[in-house]
Structure 1
Amino acid sequence: MLKFIVRILINALALFVAAWLLPGIEVGAAGSSGDTTEVVLSYLFIGLVFGIVNALVRPIVALLSLPLTILTLGLFTVIINAGMLMLTAWLTSFTPIQFSVDDFFWTAVLGSLIISVVSMVAGSLTGTRR
């Protein structure tokens, strides 16, 4: 259970860094006053949704796209990660807490690269890296 909570915190941190660096990624609650507590809870919620998407959907997509991943020497995983980020944005459009990624696909690709790097570094520091 502790490892799961740490993964949510790492996802939230990675999403925060991506939103901070890229103007096309935004997180906010509907009717939010911008209070620090609301912002932190918003990122934790989005981190939870992103973690669930990565745990449930990503392995299926990775398995189905295995021939293409092998053909591109693993570079297709960047596109899969961007797709998971866009799926998270779509899923959270049905919740009070909104996570949006620009329609421009390259924003999602850059965001997924940033999230991957931050998650890798934070996972290595906390010892939860897979």
Structure 2
Amino acid sequence: MVELIVKILINAAALLVAVKVLEPAKLLSFNFGNDWWKLLLVALVFALINTYIKPIVKALSMPISILSLGLIAFVINAAMLLAVAFVSGQLKLGFKVGDYPPDLTTANTIIGALAGAVIISVVSTLASIALSPRKLM
């Protein structure tokens, strides 16, 4: 249970960093105002999508992943970020990737999803490494 809470908080921090970096270029936006619970709810949605949907997509895309030497992982991460934006739009939480929702086919949406996925991956990986217990050999 504690690991899940830590994972959600790491996701929230990574989402916030990505939004702060990409918001001036209109690639990501998150209008949560003073409602911090919206940030935690979007992070929870992000964690749930990454826990339940992403492994299925990765398993189905394994042949393409082998052929592309793993570069399809960036596209999968971007698609998961777009799924979070879709759910956030349905719940009226204020998280948008580029112009999505509602417009999925703009360059801002595609670039925002890819750049946001990279930033979130880097920040969450670094935070996970920093917070993981040290193992002595």
Q: Name the stretch that deviates more: 92-101 or 9-18.
A: 92-101
Q: Is the 8 A contact 1:9 1:47 kept in 2?
A: yes
**Distance in 2 between residues matched to 1:62 and 1:102, nearest whole Å:** 24
Aligned match of 1:119: 124
Aligned residues: CA RMSD: 1.2
Report the Cα offset of residue 112 of structure 1: 0.2
Q: Aligned residues: percent identity? A: 40
Q: Which of these residues, 38, 60, 70, is aligned with residue 66 of structure 2? A: 70
Counterparts of 1:75-90 in structure 2 under 5 Å?
75-90=71-86
How far off its partner does 1:43 sit? 1.3
TM-score normalised by the chain length of structure 2: 0.84
Map 1:29-108 → 2, pairs under 5 A:
29=32, 34-35=33-34, 38=35, 40-103=36-99, 104-108=109-113
Asked if the contact 1:46–1:92 (Cα under 8 Å) also holds between the matched residues in 2, the reply is yes
Matches of 1:100 and 1:4 in 2, distance apart? 24
| 1:20 aligns to 2:23 (yes or no) | no
**Structure 2 unaligned spans of 5+:** 100-108
Equivalents in 2 of 1:96, 1:74: separation in Å?
A: 34
The ranges of structure 1 where at least 4 consecutive aligned residues each deviate by more than 3 angstroms after the TM superposition are: none
Extract unaligned runs of 5+ from structure 1: none
The residue number in structure 1 matching 2:103 is none
TM-score normalised to the size of structure 1? 0.88
CA distance in structure 1 between the partners assigned to 2:92 and 2:82 by the alignment: 17
Contact 1:49–1:88 under 8 Å retained in 2? yes
Q: Is the 8 A contact 1:28 1:42 kept in 2?
A: no
Question: Does the aligned pair in 2 maintain the 1:27–1:42 contact within 8 Å?
Answer: no
